[in-house]
């Protein structure tokens, strides 16, 4: 263990880092390789979600009593099914200039049950006048890991759309790792 501590101190002044392979076995590697390994590990596990909905019970009628009932029903739905989202502050339900708005922004290590799409489906069914967008990047999805997936909510329907702004992920958002030109950090 003493040898390892000294090696770590020596490595701090060089371009070498140590990674744990198993138990107490450590191996020296170039710091740029550790960065690459860490990014690849994160990339394989991450799902990034950005979503917003303007909540309206109808696409024409603006009766305040019906709107209040719809919002109360939506809050009950969230509390019954996704109370942890509210507890962890992943989502917000706010009124802006008289419009009821829901927003959800988070990153998870694993997709699990994809609750964001289920919330949008519920709103499409229950609040026909609601509109919004669900934007997510799922690095666990073998076929779609290089693009953001986009769902548009409007007039009681949910549409999957191609992303024109941030996809393909590698080239639009992040460059592909290049051994000949690694990151400077």
Residues 25 and 68 in one domain: no
In a domain, 184, yes or no: no
Neighbouring CB atoms inside 10 A of 148's CB total 21
How many domains does one find in the chain? 2
Domain that holds residue 27: 2-43
Within a domain: 114: yes
Are 113 and 125 in a shared domain? yes
Q: What is the pLDDT along the chain (185 residues), one digit of tens a residue?
A: 333 344 444 444 454 454 444 444 444 544 444 433 444 443 445 889 999 999 999 988 778 999 999 999 999 999 999 999 988 889 999 998 989 999 999 988 877 778 999 999 999 999 999 999 999 998 888 888 889 999 999 999 999 999 999 898 888 888 877 888 887 76
Would you state the pLDDT for residue 14? 53
Domain contains 60: yes
- Note the pLDDT tens digit of each residue in 9-52: 444 445 445 444 444 444 454 444 443 344 444 344 588 999 99
90 in the same domain as 54? yes
The CB-side HSE value for 14 (13 A sphere, CA atoms) comes to: 12
Instruction: Please indicate, yes or no, whether residues 51 and 136 belong to a single structural domain of this protein.
Output: yes
Spatial contact of 21 and 34, defined as CB atoms under 8 Å apart: no
- Which residues pair with residue 103 across a beta bridge? 52, 92
Nearest to 102 by CA among 69, 134, 136, 128: 134
User: What pLDDT score does 130 carry?
Assistant: 97
* Residue-level pLDDT at 177: 78
What's the Cα-to-Cα distance from 166 to each of 62, 148, 169, rounded to whole Å? 35, 7, 6
Q: Specify the pLDDT at position 170.
A: 84
Phi, psi of 131 (to 5 degrees): -145, 150
Q: Please tell me whether residue 130 adopts helix, strand or coil conformation.
A: coil
């Amino acid at each position: 263990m003493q040898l390892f501590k000294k090696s770590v101190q020596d490595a701090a002044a060089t371009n070498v880092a140590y990674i744990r392979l198993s138990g107490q076995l450590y191996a020296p590697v170039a710091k740029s390789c550790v960065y690459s390994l860490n990014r690849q590990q994160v990339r394989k596990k991450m799902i990034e979600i950005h979503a917003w909905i303007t909540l309206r019970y109808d696409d024409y009628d603006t009766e305040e009593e019906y709107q209040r009932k719809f919002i109360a029903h939506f809050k009950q739905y969230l509390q019954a099914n996704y109370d942890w989202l509210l507890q962890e502050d992943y989502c917000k339900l706010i009124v802006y200039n008289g419009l009821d708005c829901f927003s959800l922004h988070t990153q998870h290590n694993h997709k699990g049950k994809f609750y964001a799409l289920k919330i949008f489906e519920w709103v499409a069914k229950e609040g026909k006048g609601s509109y919004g967008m669900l934007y997510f990047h799922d690095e666990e999805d073998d076929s779609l890991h290089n693009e953001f997936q986009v769902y548009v909510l409007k007039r009681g329907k949910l549409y999957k759309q191609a992303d024109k702004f941030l996809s393909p992920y590698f080239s639009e958002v992040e460059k592909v790792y290049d051994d000949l030109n690694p990151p400077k950090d």
